[in-house]
Chains A and B, each alone.
Chain A
Amino acid sequence: MTQNWPLWEVFVRSRRGLSHTHAGSLHAPDAEMALRNARDLYTRRNEGVSIWVVPSAQITASSPDERDPFFAPSADKPYRHPTFYEIPEGVRHL
């Protein structure tokens, strides 16, 4: 049974200079095999230069129930964004 083969999340860096992004998941008996399976599955069309694998069980995720307390408070602070500020026309390098 693959029940003993845990699920792994795969993150691929598509080229140098970019961060790793989630590509998908797969089953593997251990980390070494997970890395190899990820290489075979998620980079066979030349999609990556680096791979991370993480046991799915090790990921702690924010809960959708907490979405409001977590994320709503940051919605009303537009002064954190540069577009908030009015600058006279013609001022450069700002």
Chain B
Amino acid sequence: MVAVTPETGQDRALADAFEAAVAADERVEPRDWMPEEYRASLVRQMAQHAHSEIIGMQPEANWITRAPSLRRKAILMAKVQDEAGHGLYLYSAAETLGTSRDELLDKLHAGRQKYSSIFNYPTLTWADVGAIGWLVDGAAITNQVPLCRTSYGPYARAMVRICKEESFHQRQGYELLLALSQGTEAQHAMAQDAVDRWWWPSLMMFGPPDDESAHSAQSMAWRIKRHSNDELRQRFVDIAVPQAETLGLTLPDPDIKWNEERGHYDFGAIDWAEFWDVLKGNGPCNEQRLSQRRRAHEEGAWVREAAAAHAEKQAQAHVQHEEARV
């Protein structure tokens, strides 16, 4: 893997060719020359995305054993399984940039790479499973659909697969909430409570406002990102407001109002202090999520070692067998 800072004339030419290709919407493929910062930026974003998928299994897996009907249990199991699969696609895509899954997991476990802060919130009731599907997956899809056209080929291809599979995630969440909203009084209250707790954190998923976002401008120029945080957030609000009406649930923001002039819904100010605080590790579940992840990894070490040892023995036996034949 060659990664050069464009100092010499030849490198300058490579960098120009790269910028031109990206600007022309061509895809960058693993063995192409790319600026070191582009590579680092991609690894960071893909790792964070992959980590979010596998940490994101936890709040939902929390309800697999308590799902209230067998149909819901099957749906939830399949959904959590998809998240493992999505993490896997993304780690594989990141590996094409010369890193390894082990390295990325080590960084996650050491707290040196982030995952989406949304998963540091707890799932307190069954309705939270629905709210995650509708709002959290809804926000994620809004973010992810443009990534299907991101400039790095393996990332874009992973995202195509992921988006295709995710479409059931959001629908099942919406359907789950609708059943609760139209169910008994207690069920309706459960659904409203979940939406009240998940709405604001979902809006925070799009990241800080454009003028405070550290990596946004460069990522946009390289077409890793294709829309700004605020643009996507607005798109999500515009979609969610009428969906909430159909659900018969209210969104916990008195400032939500259609703005004829802008052609968008206005909404209230986000509490960014909470966002930064959760990001720093002070959310309700940061420690719990990370320690469960570490524990699963550590407790699985002997299994991974055993399979590797067995493969090694088989390979040796094969060599000996071949030698004996010669």
Q: Do chains A and B touch in the complex (CB under 8 A)?
A: yes
Q: Which of B241-249, B269-277, B299-307 is the contact stretch? A: B299-307
B304 touches A4 (CB 8 A): yes
B307 touches A24 (CB 8 A): no
Question: What 1/0 mask marks residues of chain B from 78 to 118 whose CB sits below 8 Å from any chain A CB?
Answer: 00010001001100110100001110000000000000000
Q: Among the listed A4, A25, A45, A61, which residue makes an inter-chain contact with B95, where contact means beta carbons less than 8 Å apart?
A: A25
Interface size on B, residues (CB 8 A): 27
* B31 located at the interface, meaning its Cβ lies under 8 Å from any Cβ of chain A in the complex: yes
* A2 located at the interface, meaning its Cβ lies under 8 Å from any Cβ of chain B in the complex: yes
Known interface pairs A24-B89, A29-B307. Does A64 touch B33 (Cβ–Cβ under 8 Å)?
A: yes
* A5 located at the interface, meaning its Cβ lies under 8 Å from any Cβ of chain B in the complex: yes
Q: Which of B52-60, B219-227, B286-294, B308-316 is the contact stretch? A: B308-316
Question: What 1/0 mask marks residues of chain A from 4 to 48 whose CB sits below 8 Å from any chain B CB?
Answer: 110100000000000000001111011001000000010011000
A61 touches B31 (CB 8 A): yes
Q: In residues 142-195 of chain B, which contact A (Cβ within 8 Å)?
A: 157-158, 161, 165
- Please report the C-alpha to C-alpha distance between residue A45 and residue B161 in the assembled complex, in whole angstroms: 11
B92 touches A26 (CB 8 A): yes
Give B169 Cβ to nearest chain A Cβ, in Å: 13
* A58 located at the interface, meaning its Cβ lies under 8 Å from any Cβ of chain B in the complex: no
Give A10 Cβ to nearest chain B Cβ, in Å: 9
B31 touches A27 (CB 8 A): no
* A57 located at the interface, meaning its Cβ lies under 8 Å from any Cβ of chain B in the complex: no
For the side of the interface on A, what is the size category? 10 to 19
Give B39 Cβ to nearest chain A Cβ, in Å: 14
* A3 located at the interface, meaning its Cβ lies under 8 Å from any Cβ of chain B in the complex: yes
- Please report the C-alpha to C-alpha distance between residue A33 and residue B314 in the assembled complex, in whole angstroms: 13
- Please report the C-alpha to C-alpha distance between residue A64 and residue B157 in the assembled complex, in whole angstroms: 19
A3 touches B102 (CB 8 A): yes
What residues on B are CB-neighbors of A60 within 8 Å? none
Residue on A with the closest CB to B308? A4
* A1 located at the interface, meaning its Cβ lies under 8 Å from any Cβ of chain B in the complex: yes
A41 touches B88 (CB 8 A): yes
A30 touches B311 (CB 8 A): yes
B101 touches A2 (CB 8 A): yes
B311 touches A29 (CB 8 A): yes
9 additional contacts (CB under 8 A) given A1-B305, A64-B32:
A1-B301, A2-B102, A25-B92, A29-B307, A29-B311, A41-B88, A64-B29, A64-B31, A64-B33
